[in-house]
Amino acid sequence: MTDPDHLASTRHVYDKSAADYAEAVGTTVSPAFETPIDRGVLGAFVRQVEESGGGPVADVGCGVGRVTAYLADRNLDIRGVDLSPGMVEVARSAHPDLRFEVGSLTALPFDRESLSGAVLWYSIIHTALPDLPQVWHELRRVLASPGHLLVAFQAGGNDKEVQPNAHGTGSTLRHYRHMLEDVAASLGEAGFDVRARWWREAELAHETTPQAGIFARLAV
């Protein structure tokens, strides 16, 4: 994901498809795209942050602000950040009462130790396993202890799918389906304490792979 060409290509795809994405998926969390398990996972993250005293949280890779709005409705002090200015523009229009900024997984627009938590809801699906440590390093910079982290992703055997003309934009988009144990090991090596892992089979109409995720926090 830190490859400049890959970064630019990914940004271009989402800039050009932001409006269509919002129309297809919506700008709020819904049963069509999040199961009760998924919504339960997000609720558990809210409770973790609350029980640690609250504080600002980031939805990293927020897209059109679906999860940002969902967590804000549950009283988290949350702001969204996304690589794509087009996505951020749609998010701001859909949720004018919330804060959205442009930034990448490895260059977040936040000060050191300024966040109580971060959610990466399917935000690493365009990042290869060897590049994940750079993402974790940036999260360690912006998180303050205990630094709650929730990461969700499409599960697989670290396989890659390449779309050479993604959404008719003329740009290439790469998708990675990560192994749960590999993401957990990567987080541990980067100084995070993995607290829980979750996994569910493909259930919704758009899903072709199992879904997985990890709860972690800064290691003491």
Print pLDDT tens along the chain (220 aa).
Answer: 556 778 888 998 999 999 999 999 999 999 999 999 999 999 999 999 999 999 999 999 999 999 999 999 999 999 999 999 999 999 999 999 999 999 999 999 999 999 999 999 999 999 999 999 999 999 999 999 999 999 999 999 878 888 888 888 888 889 999 999 999 999 999 999 999 999 999 999 999 999 999 999 998 7
Could you tell me the domains of the chain? 4-218 (3.40.50.150)
Non-local CB neighbours of 21 within 8 Å, separated by 6+ positions: 14, 63, 64, 87, 90
CA distance 118 to 152: 12
CA distances from 184 to 51, 60, 86, 111 (A): 24, 18, 31, 26
Summarize pLDDT for 88-130 with one digit per residue, the tens.
999 999 999 999 999 999 999 999 999 999 999 999 999 999 9
Residue whose entry in the numeric block shows the structure tokens 């060409």: 5
Residues in the chain: 220
- What are the tokens at 36? 């009760």
Element (H, E) at 97: none
- Please tell me the distance from the alpha carbon of residue 141 to that of residue 75, in angstroms, as a whole number: 24
pLDDT of residue 168: 83
**Can you give the pLDDT at residue 201?**
96
pLDDT given for residue 3 in this prediction = 66
What lies within 8 Å, CB to CB, of 101 at 6+ separation is 79, 80, 81, 88, 109
Residue 163's pLDDT is what? 85
Give the type of residue at 54: G
Q: Is the dihedral of CA 147, 92, 21, 82 positive or negative?
A: negative
Give kind and range of the element (H or E) at residue 10: helix 4-25
User: At 215, which amino acid appears?
Assistant: F
For residue 46, how far is the Cα from the chain centroid? 15
